[in-house]
């Protein structure tokens, strides 16, 4: 009886893992966007987008970066969400878009923003790498 129960449990777990990975691969293959996200102090938003733009073939313009910063600065309520916008970029000759959502966290008059960026899997991989590099270089 214990062997049968163990076998059933193993099949349920294996089935769940199979469905999770197959479903994820299928939706990504169908163009679903993935996301990269990180907490930023407000003074690090502009430098991050400037540095990210340098690794893209066509990154964010100064005007777009200023717009992102001003939208974030305009957020005043703790946990406020703001869909900042979708911005065209290119990477390795391919056109892509990065959709940016910001969430503000306010504690003791300190304002921090969580930026979540949605894009194609390859662009999200680059954003993740740049976020890690940005943190490591600044020992954040």
Q: pLDDT tens digits for 78-123? A: 999 999 999 999 999 999 999 999 999 998 878 899 999 999 999 9
Six-digit token string for 31: 């163009």
Six-digit token string for 69: 């910063």
Measured distance CA(100)–CA(116) in Å, rounded: 6
User: Which one is predicted more confidently, 120 or 27?
Assistant: 120
Q: For tokens 């911005």, what's the residue?
A: 87
pLDDT above 70 covers a percentage of the chain that reads 76
Six-digit token string for 10: 């193993």
Integer-rounded Cα Rg, in Å, for the chain is 20
CB count within 10 Å of CB 83 equals: 11
CATH of 33-138, picked from 1.10.3470, 3.10.450, 3.30.450, 2.30.30, is 3.30.450
């Amino acid at each position: 009886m214990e062997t049968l129960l163990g076998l059933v449990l193993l099949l349920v777990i294996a089935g769940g893992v199979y469905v999770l990975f197959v479903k994820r691969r299928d939706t990504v293959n169908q163009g679903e966007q993935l996301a990269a996200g990180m907490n930023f102090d407000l003074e690090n938003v502009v430098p991050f987008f400037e540095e990210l733009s340098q690794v893209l073939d066509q990154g964010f313009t100064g005007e777009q970066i200023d717009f992102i910063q001003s939208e974030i600065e305009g957020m005043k309520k703790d946990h406020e969400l703001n869909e900042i916008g979708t911005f065209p970029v290119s990477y390795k000759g391919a056109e892509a878009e990065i959709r940016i959502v910001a969430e503000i966290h306010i504690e003791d008059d300190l304002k921090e923003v969580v930026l979540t960026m949605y894009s194609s899997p390859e662009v999200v991989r680059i954003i993740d790498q740049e976020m890690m590099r940005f943190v490591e270089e600044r020992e954040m």
